[in-house]
Amino acid sequence: MGELKRTRIVNALSSEGIGSEITVMGWVRTKRESKGGFSFIEVNDGSCLTNLQVIAGDQLPNYATEVLKIQTGCSVKVTGSLLASPGKGQNVELKAEKIEVLGWADQEAYPLQKKRHSFEFLRTVAHLRPRTNTFGAVARVRNALSMAVHRFFQDRGFLYVHTPIITGSDCEGAGAMFKVTTLDLAKVPLIDGRPDLRSDFFEGPANLTVSGQLEAEVYALALGDVYTFGPTFRAENSNTPRHLAEFWMVEPEMAFCDLDGNVEIAVAFLKSLFSYVLERCQEDMNFFNRFIDPEIIATLEKLRSQEFRRLTYTEAIEILSKATVSFEFPVTWGSDIQAEHERYLCEKVFAGPAVLTDYPRQIKPFYMKVNPDGKTVRAMDVLLPKIGEIIGGSQREDDYDTLLERMKETGIDPAAYWWYLELRKFGTAPHSGFGLGFERLVQFVTGMANIRDVIPFPRTPGNVTF
């Protein structure tokens, strides 16, 4: 729409342009009529949370025929002059000289009424929910966070690597995988009663990736510091407020880096993400603080300067076994630390974030480096108050024989990972990395309770509409 040159509302509201003539385009949030032959139209174009108030007077040629009929959801083009607003709640307003309705919205049918809707309802109208305050704010914060991810790594010389979405390997057995096939499911060729994948597209099993880590390791062991940031898929049937079938993951991988270096980067990374959002998304963060979680800004501000307590899994188990509260899951050396334990440590013991390291080898994936004690691996989990684990990572096993032994121990077929093993045969080097679930991050930063509300189009069991 070259001819439709417009001013974004976020710029119009900055009050620098007072007196100038501008054109804005957006969607009507509300409209009310005043007695003196005026209409007040609140227009939002998504560039910021605040609406621009448009004053439309009855001198407009289409006032009676169109302007009076404008309702919530219509899209409009308004040309007028930007004036300092005498009214409360806004600095500027647009005195319309021309209003064009670009698209009508039938009120009977339009699902977004002026009243507040539940998030559950809004999930059923995912094609319209970005027009609400909350989902607009989530989209802008999500955008800022992805920029912050790239900025953090790019500033430090990390290369962005695109790892494949379709994969032949089942990383860590991180979760059930989605199979990829072009076979006609109505007539799958069988061999010994099982699908004969030799005639399938890839002539063998293929899946949607659960993690880009193994491929990122390949690039780290050639280029030094790299990261992936892409979609991952898990066919786990977990209907929780923290799980999606399709989610985005950030996975840096650093060559010549041990666990200490890994912890350092992970903590600096989180702090920089929180700072970025606090600085760049003030209006949206104020909104979340007011309507979603009244402590969110204070929490993020505190985390920017707080020390991340570091302790080993074994030390954590000692603390937990002395706890006076009763946990649902048992606390014994060798069993996994559950979210309830993580939250107890952060909220009750440390009153702040923590990094747990050196977990028992039997509860961690094959690629984590075995410690000299033979019992633990160089794993690290970064824990935050309220949500528990936000980052999981490790120093990777760089010794060929140990890695092979760990594959066998955990039931991974070494033949399928011949290329991964070869990295340890040719110029192996210490290296480390971690994974951050991007939606968990957006959830934490916005305070949104359900992960389905921080991704534009959530994929969950039984739900792939939109």
Site for ligand ATP, rule CB under 6 A: 174, 234, 242-244, 247, 249, 389, 392, 435, 437, 439-440
Minimum CB–partner distance for residue 15 and ligand ATP (Å): 41
> Which residue, 439, 399, 392, is CA-closest to 174?
392
Neighbouring C-beta atoms of residue 268, cutoff 10 Å: 12
Minimum CB–partner distance for residue 243 and ligand ATP (Å): 4
Minimum CB–partner distance for residue 73 and ligand ATP (Å): 32
Are 398 and 431 in contact, with CB atoms under 8 Å apart?
yes
Query: What helix, strand, coil percent values describe the chain, rounded to 5?
Result: 30, 25, 40
d(CA 352, CA 331): 21
Helix (H) or strand (E) run with residue 377 in it: strand 376-384
Residue number with CB closer to ligand ATP (6 or 310): 310
d(CA 49, CA 148): 20
Residue number of the CB atom closest to ligand ATP? 437
Tokens of 462: 């039984």
Residue number with CB closer to ligand ATP (12 or 138): 138
Residue number with CB closer to ligand ATP (358 or 439): 439
d(CA 158, CA 220): 9
Residue number with CB closer to ligand ATP (100 or 172): 172
Minimum CB–partner distance for residue 437 and ligand ATP (Å): 2
Residue number with CB closer to ligand ATP (129 or 452): 452
Minimum CB–partner distance for residue 329 and ligand ATP (Å): 12
What is residue 302's three-state secondary structure?
helix
Are 227 and 430 in contact, with CB atoms under 8 Å apart?
no
Are 54 and 41 in contact, with CB atoms under 8 Å apart?
yes
Residue number with CB closer to ligand ATP (217 or 439): 439
How far is residue 419 from each of residues 62, 211, 221, 411, measured CA to CA in Å? 70, 17, 12, 17
Residue number with CB closer to ligand ATP (174 or 449): 174
Minimum CB–partner distance for residue 389 and ligand ATP (Å): 5
Minimum CB–partner distance for residue 292 and ligand ATP (Å): 19
What is residue 94's three-state secondary structure?
strand
